[in-house]
Copies of this chain bind each other. A is one copy, B any other.
Amino acid sequence: MTQWVYNFGAGRNEGRADMRNLLGGKGANLAEMAGIGLPVPPGFTITTELCTEFYRNDRTYPADLKPQVDAALALIEEAVGLRFGDGEKPLLVSVRSGARVSMPGMMDTVLNLGLNDETVQGLERSSGDPRFAWDSYRRFIQMYGSVVLGVSHHRFEEIIEDIKTEMNVLEDTALSAESWAHVVESYKDLVARETGKPFPQSPEDQLWGAIGAVFGSWMNPRANTYRRLHDIPADWGTAVNVQAMVFGNMGEDCATGVCFTRDPSTGENVFYGEYLVNAQGEDVVAGIRTPQPMSEARAKEGELSMERALPEAYRELLTVRDTLERHYRDMQDIEFTVQKNKLYMLQTRSGKRTAAASLRIAIEMAQEGRISHEEAIQRIQPSSLDQLLHPTLDPKAERVILARGLPASPGAAGGVIVFSADEVEARAARGEDTILVRIETSPEDVHGMHAARGVLTTRGGMTSHAAVVARGMGRACVAGCGGIRVDYAAQTLSAGNRTLKAGDWITLDGSTGEVFAGKVATIQPTLSGDFSTLMGWADSVRRLKVRANAETPEDAAMASKFGAEGIGLCRTEHMFFAPERIGAVRQMIMAENEAARRRALDTLLPFQREDFAALFRIMGDRPVTIRLLDPPLHEFLPHTEAELEELAREMGETLEAVKERHAALSESNPMLGHRGCRLGITFPEIYAMQARAIFEAAVLVGSETGRPVTPEIMIPLVGSEHELRVTRAEVEAVARDIVDKGGVAVDYTVGTMIELPRAALTADRIGEHADFFSFGTNDLTQTTFGLSRDDAGSFLPHYIEKGLLPRDPFVTIDREGVGALVRIAAEKSRAVRPGIKLGICGEHGGDPSSIEFCEQVGLDYVSCSPFRVPIARLAAAQAALQNRQKQTA
């Protein structure tokens, strides 16, 4: 005989949490709760196998089901001392579906099953509350009528509306027992009319009707669609849970409540929650009565704590709390009911919590010995740390949402709307808070982004210029906010039919992508001791080093503060835009010959040298990877006719000459154009100047500190070994010239970005000339997918929505394609140079899933923006633990 039915509760428990496939999620959890001795209302689960059998046999049940259900029902009756269909002490049950995974579309719940014209009177008598009894009965008819018998839900509502009009009341709660009895009559008429049959009075018929409805709902169209979309096999089936009803609203010795075993907001180890005497679960959330505190210690004047009102149940609940935390080893969110002084546990699950609470709970549970340090590390979502590092919107503050874009750089920020970087700088100098609003940003806007509180763009994705730079600076940023239209000429932005103008206040939430009109209050972050405890634990288990992408001394200092173990990417071009330099940069670009170019570069040399010296002073003997000039030269030229005219004037050139050079430099696909080492090869004097600045700075700082500086010089956009061979030779020639003369040791290495598919595919040849590789996975993603991150906005969201791509590949590394190239490059390069240092410096370096991949491939380090360093440290620790578990498994 197959066992189709599993009992739970009342000491006759047959299931466990790990029997989810057979009992469904809900059934397994109820059994688990009962199994650890919690007072769960008794019940039974009909297995998912029965569901499969049901469909295999043309929607019929096997003959041995009914005896098993009858026996299980008898056990419930025995346990609670009530009888199904009894005119005096009727047992009422709930019937619920429960598949392996939670699945919308299936039948949910029928409560109070077992009521009929006779048992309702028994309930009236046993509860002493006629109103409760008739309300329960009408609720049952309404639920059963709609979900089992298919009568439209609104037809029932109409009847209530009619009687409320008739009785001249506004709220359901104002209706009397008599009124509900009238409703019951009307409901029964309605069901008879609609279904052609009277409402079933036999509790047994009711039960089998509900069971059949649950199994039938497994194959309804909504459930089928959901399964198809989520790849859930139809033969998994659903289980049915039948459980004794308990009531918290049968008198003053009854109550119902919702609790957390610790404070979900702060994580503090106190019993946290609220309850109501003589109430049902829905009353607690409905807000008509004010819920009361659990403990006397937390009760304010005029409040009645559960500790005082129901001391026995409260004591039992304290024991339950302890049992739960011991068993589940995590903070729990529980629902309970007290029926006539007896405590029943209805549900427990891991409680949702704030990032701060998550951190505190994990640390304290580890300190209490409930979980290990490793488990504590794995309890924290790395990305949730963002909340601890950036200002957040005050959850209580009112807000008017304008539009929603991409959550490009976390944190909340408010300020007045400003449409140009120069004006942002000017206003910031006067102490004003500003938000820089642009259609998109370019390197010319960087000084404005720095001076602004936050940045809003209407175009561009998660790795657009605005997003990358803002994350690097720790500025809040909402990018690609297509719902907003910017009109620079009119100095307005509009969303829907609202228009705001320059100088109006807006607030951004860079963690959600929301843009609000006006001021919304924010909360400043404070870093607790728990944070550094967690970081310390994470550092002790991670293998990957964590570096930061940083150019300015401020960024480098911030990165150091967050624990960066070096700089993984210093983008030298960002250093070219400062007002005192851009002139020389443009002179270099406009130069007609090498001599003129060299003159312009000579002007830049001292600036660059000081840039690098400042970084070396901050980073000490930690490595600093400096990428030589990467972007195409036209990025340094202005674009409008007026700006070009000004440039011509400044340079003493004709406008025509300037425009001609501008046109000659313009490119159809700049991403694939004359940039990276291609510049260094056609204009070797540029890289020579940069190398000179690096080595002179290294000698200078080395002699200041007496300890060797360790610059790592990185050649960008290498596609063939010859490019690296030639540029490396030039860098080494400069090094010989300077370092040998300097008389101070400089521990330099030369390597390359791997950011082109060809570089990855020929990594064995390129590796011959490289001391290190840094995977530039932003560009590698663009070329591997043939996908411009600036242009992908027109279709990438559609792709992700439709599941054509699982995730935005610019946020989380695409393991199948881009990742395959990273693997190929790692294997090929190590084959020729076993000790080659491998890292990643794309935006993926701060993404937890991508960091997990880096751990699997065995890279040496990840590098990310300074504010993501703590996230990366935690994610690296989690990845190391996962890898270790996989290896021991």
Contacts and interface: CB of A to CB of B under 8 A. Distances in A.
Nearest to A682: B795
* Central interface residue in A678, A757, A765, A787, by most chain B CB within 10 Å: A757
A873 B826 CA distance: 40
Given A783-B757, A803-B722, A671 B674 contact: no
B794 A674 contact: yes
Given A668-B791, A719-B817, A784 B756 contact: yes
Interface in A696-741: 717, 719-720, 722-723, 726
B788 A668 contact: yes
Given A669-B788, A761-B784, A820-B761, A681 B798 contact: yes
Contact of A787 (B719, B786, B804, B814): B719
Interface in A661-699: 667-674, 678, 681-682
B667 A791 contact: yes
A88 interface: no
Nearest to A786: B756
Interface residues of A, number: 49
A762 interface: yes
A792 B675 CA distance: 10
A573 interface: no
A788 B817 CA distance: 21
B758 A673 contact: no
A95 B792 CA distance: 70
A720 B791 contact: no
A816 interface: yes
A208 interface: no
B788 A821 contact: no
Contacts of A674: 791, 794-795
A784 B758 contact: yes
A669 B788 CA distance: 6
Contacts of A795: 674, 678, 681-682
A74 interface: no
A790 interface: yes
B720 A804 contact: yes
Contacts of A757: 757, 783-784, 786, 817, 821
Interface string A734-765: 00000000000000000000011110011001
B817 A786 contact: no
A799 interface: yes
Q: How many copies does the complex hold?
A: 2
A642 B674 CA distance: 32
Given A674-B795, A681-B798, A758 B785 contact: yes
A782 interface: yes
Contacts of A792: 673
Given A756-B784, A788-B672, A681 B804 contact: yes
A831 interface: no
Nearest to A794: B674
A788 B758 contact: no
Contacts of A596: none
Interface in A584-623: none
A779 interface: yes
A723 to B, nearest CB: 6
A805 interface: yes
Nearest to A798: B682
A24 to B, nearest CB: 31
A787 B672 contact: yes
Contacts of A788: 667-669, 671-673
Given A717-B786, A804-B726, A672 B791 contact: yes
* Central interface residue in A670, A672, A681, A717, by most chain B CB within 10 Å: A672
A818 interface: yes
B668 A671 contact: yes
B726 A790 contact: no
Interface string A635-679: 000000000000000000000000000000001111111100010
A756 to B, nearest CB: 4
Given A758-B817, A795-B682, A805 B669 contact: no
B786 A755 contact: yes
A805 B671 contact: no
A790 B672 CA distance: 9
A156 to B, nearest CB: 40
* Central interface residue in A678, A682, A726, by most chain B CB within 10 Å: A678
A726 to B, nearest CB: 7
A802 B730 CA distance: 15
A476 B721 CA distance: 36
A199 B331 CA distance: 107
Contacts of A723: 804
A682 B791 contact: no
Contacts of A761: 784, 816-817, 820-821
A802 B677 CA distance: 14
A290 B575 CA distance: 72
A779 B668 CA distance: 14
Contacts of A802: 681, 726
Contacts of A784: 756-758, 761, 783
A814 B722 CA distance: 14
B791 A786 contact: no
A791 B669 contact: yes
A779 B818 CA distance: 17
A815 to B, nearest CB: 11
A762 B817 contact: yes
A774 B638 CA distance: 42
Contact of A668 (B670, B762, B804): B670
Contacts of A668: 670-671, 788, 790-791
Contacts of A798: 681-682
A365 to B, nearest CB: 42
Going nearest first, the 5 A-B pairs with the smallest beta carbon separation are A758-B817, A672-B788, A669-B788, A757-B757, A668-B790
Given A757-B817, A761-B817, 11 more contacts: A668-B790, A669-B790, A672-B672, A672-B782, A672-B787, A682-B795, A719-B787, A756-B784, A758-B785, A761-B816, A783-B783
17 contacts: A667-B788, A667-B790, A667-B791, A668-B791, A672-B782, A672-B786, A681-B798, A681-B802, A720-B817, A722-B804, A757-B784, A758-B784, A758-B785, A761-B820, A761-B821, A779-B786, A783-B786
